[in-house]
């Protein structure tokens, strides 16, 4: 399709001529739209005849949208329940014994199961030459330094970006260990 002429530096006569040229195509477009509407009506009639749903909106009452908020009969949200249960757990007194209050131990999230942070694992697998996050992730998985997660690649990228004292970006998706 040919590009329309630039009209930024056109004279008034040229602009008027262009406007008339464009207006002259309106009847053709209206006729084309009418012809397409007729074809669409024929196709919809054929679909209805074959028992399919037509493009017309359904009759009757629209369906209700799903209700938002907490489910009926629930007094507290699940988040609030989880938060309170993490801090302390009260054991129920049985057979005349006093109830014992215990606290759950805090889990050190940074160290995980394998020891060390993800940044430590990344530093361990990186050599002196630049590596991409995909290569680093593959090396971590092969050496089993971290628990294999679906989002390990994303976590590696975030660890590289966060730890500017340990890693330096050399180019697009290329990282080098500092020191």
pLDDT tens digits, one per residue of 40-75: 999 988 888 888 765 566 666 666 666 677 666 666
Distance between CA atoms of residues 5 and 15, nearest Å: 10
Distance between CA atoms of residues 69 and 66, nearest Å: 10
- Structure pTM? 0.38
Identify the sign of the CA torsion 134, 135, 140, 142.
Answer: positive
**DSSP 3-state assignment of 78?**
helix
Ramachandran bin of 43, using left for φ above 0, alpha for ψ from -120 to 50, beta for the remaining angles: alpha
Q: Give the domain 118-177 fold.
A: Arc Repressor Mutant, subunit A (1.10.10)
pLDDT of residue 4: 63
Domain boundaries, given as residue ranges, for the chain: 15-49, 118-177
Which carries the bigger pLDDT value, residue 10 or residue 60? 10
Residue 148: which residues within 8 A CB-CB, separation 6 or more?
141
Q: Pick the closest to residue 101 from 86, 82, 87, 88 (CA basis).
A: 88
Residue 144: which residues within 8 A CB-CB, separation 6 or more?
114
Distance between CA atoms of residues 162 and 123, nearest Å: 13
- The confidence band for 142, taking pLDDT boundaries of 50, 70 and 90, is confident
Minimum mean pLDDT range among 7-21, 103-117, 150-164: 103-117
């Amino acid at each position: 399709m040919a590009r329309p002429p630039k009209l930024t530096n056109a004279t008034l006569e040229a602009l008027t001529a262009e406007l008339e040229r464009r207006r002259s195509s309106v009847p053709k477009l209206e006729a084309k739209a009418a012809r397409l509407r007729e074809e669409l009506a024929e196709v919809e009639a054929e679909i209805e005849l074959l028992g399919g749903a037509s493009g017309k909106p359904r009759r009757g009452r629209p369906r209700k949208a799903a209700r938002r908020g907490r489910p009926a009969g629930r007094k507290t949200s699940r988040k609030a329940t989880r938060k309170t249960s993490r801090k302390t757990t009260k054991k129920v007194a049985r057979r005349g014994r006093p109830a014992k209050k215990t606290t759950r131990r805090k889990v050190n999230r940074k160290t995980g199961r394998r020891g060390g942070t993800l940044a430590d694992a990344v530093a361990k697998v990186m050599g002196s030459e630049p590596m991409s996050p995909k290569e680093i992730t593959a090396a971590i998985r092969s050496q089993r330094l971290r628990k294999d997660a679906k989002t390990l690649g994303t976590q590696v990228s975030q660890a590289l970006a966060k730890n500017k004292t340990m890693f330096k970006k050399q180019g697009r998706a290329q990282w080098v260990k500092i020191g």
